[in-house]
Amino acid sequence: MNILVTGGAGYIGSHVAKKLNNIGHHVVVYDNLVKGHREAVLTAKFVKGDLADKKLLNEVMQSEEIEAVVHLAAHSIVGESMEKPGKYFQNNLSNGLNLLEVMVSNNVAYLVFSSTAAVYGEPQEVPITEDHPTNPASTYGDSKLFFEKILERYQQIHGLKYVSLRYFNAAGADHSGEIGEAHSPETHLIPIVLQKALGIRDKLYIFGDDYPSRDGSCIRDYIHVEDLADAHILALDGLIDGMDSRIYNLGNGEGYSVKEVIETASALIGKEIEAEIGPRRAGDPAVLVASSQKIREELGWKPKYAALETIIETAWKWHKGGGFNGND
Ligand code: UFG
């Protein structure tokens, strides 16, 4: 199939594009490179473009005869979204709507959407299932939840078929070592821990050690980015086989604390990674763990790299290799 991957030069998008390419699809990555990396697009066709540019989007959709879209292009820093809500609504909602309009006008009926566990907010119970109430604690979470709502209407009115994947904590890197996580600024725990281990970051803080968790630090459900990418392929296959639109959580169902992540990385690398206790980071729930029972049962998704050691090991290989342009 001819598949458009928006945000395909980003961390998760580049892994998705690589997998789609590997199984024989013609993949066109559409990315404005504000956060993405040109080097992350390995074999797919690349178009530098912004979702605000409806004309270019339409041209690409027509000239490449696009049949399905995987939509990952978005702003995704929770903290920033609470300082600049307009930026998040503009890009994640308004620009996302351009994509939907162009899809509808070109009769492109299949969409896999990159959503987030941030739609749930502070959970009432864990593991979190898809029918857990949604109550985002951030504009970022709002923007993804509102887009899911928009998708429902597009389905009802235009017959758009979609799967929304609510990611928990994407982590790790492609086993080849060719692509991996390279955000600037980096805010995610595992890359920060590894940058500290490499000596390219001065301080590592544990954001709070007084949470109601087994060791006082926050617990998250880390999912290997290749397992995440596999889920996109299953979702797309499901839609093409006639499955109805739906929402899936994506996590391993097992949580690790910030302290456990640092200890696991230290043991793997063979040296102690020093960390200091810092204040809590605003908006962090104590425990976020997914139930991914639904996608396991319905699509047969099964994570291959669920062990935290494997996740960190692949990330370490990537970081040690210097990332895209040296480490940033
Ligand atoms: N943390 C630290 N020190 C750091 C960085 C992070 O202690 O230097 C802690 C955080 O407080 C949190 C945990 O490590 O408890 C994980 O933090 P990340 O920033 O790696 O990830 P988040 O859980 O905050 O966010 C991720 C995605 C978001 C998404 C969210 C859904 O990055 O896009 O999961 O819950 F919205």
pLDDT tens digits for range 115-166: 999 999 999 999 999 999 999 999 999 999 999 999 999 999 999 999 999 9
pLDDT value at 81 more than 50: yes
pLDDT value at 215 more than 70: yes
* Alpha carbons 253 and 127: distance in angstroms, whole number: 7
Where residue 327 falls among pLDDT bands split at 50, 70, 90? very low
Cβ neighbours of residue 220 closer than 8 Å, sequence gap 6 or more: 168, 169, 189, 255, 256, 258, 288, 289
Task: Give residue 324's pLDDT.
Answer: 87
Cα-flanking dihedrals φ and ψ of residue 88, to 5°?
A: -75, -40
For the residues 246-260, what does the mean pLDDT come to?
Answer: 97
Angle at 251 between CA 74 and CA 311, to 5 degrees: 90
List residues bridging with 29 in a β-sheet.
Answer: 5, 46
User: Which atom of ligand 1 is least distant from the CA of 288?
Assistant: 35
User: Which atom of ligand 1 is least distant from the CA of 140?
Assistant: 36
Active site residues: 140
* Alpha carbons 86 and 92: distance in angstroms, whole number: 10
Per-residue tokens: 296: 């396991």
Q: Is the CB of 68 under 6 A from ligand 1?
A: no
Q: Is the CB of 178 under 6 A from ligand 1?
A: no
For the residues 210-220, what does the mean pLDDT come to?
Answer: 97
Q: Is the CB of 220 under 6 A from ligand 1?
A: yes
Q: Take atom 11 of ligand 1 and give the residue whose Cα is closest.
A: 207
pLDDT tens digits for range 38-58: 999 999 999 999 999 999 999
Fold for the domain defined by 189-220+253-320: UDP-galactose 4-epimerase; domain 1 (3.90.25)
Task: Give residue 328's pLDDT.
Answer: 34
pLDDT tens digits for range 55-69: 999 999 999 999 999
| Residue range(s) of every CATH 3.40.50.720 domain in the chain | 2-171+222-250
Task: Give residue 283's pLDDT.
Answer: 81
Mean pLDDT, the chain, rounded, equals: 96
Where residue 326 falls among pLDDT bands split at 50, 70, 90? very low
Long-range contacts of 227-230 (CB under 8 A, 24+ apart): 227/252, 227/301, 227/303, 227/304, 227/305, 227/306, 228/12, 228/15, 228/16, 228/165, 228/167, 228/170, 229/12, 229/15, 229/16, 229/18, 229/19, 230/19, 230/301, 230/304
Q: Is the CB of 118 under 6 A from ligand 1?
A: yes
Helical (H) or strand (E) element with 241: none
Task: Give residue 282's pLDDT.
Answer: 85
Fold for the domain defined by 2-171+222-250: Rossmann fold (3.40.50)
Where residue 325 falls among pLDDT bands split at 50, 70, 90? low
ipTM score of complex: 0.96
pLDDT tens digits for range 195-207: 999 999 999 999 9
Q: Is the CB of 170 under 6 A from ligand 1?
A: no
Where residue 222 falls among pLDDT bands split at 50, 70, 90? very high
| Residue range(s) of every CATH 3.90.25.10 domain in the chain | 189-220+253-320
How many angstroms separate the alpha carbon of residue 189 from the centre of ligand 1? Answer: 6
User: Which atom of ligand 1 is least distant from the CA of 138?
Assistant: 36
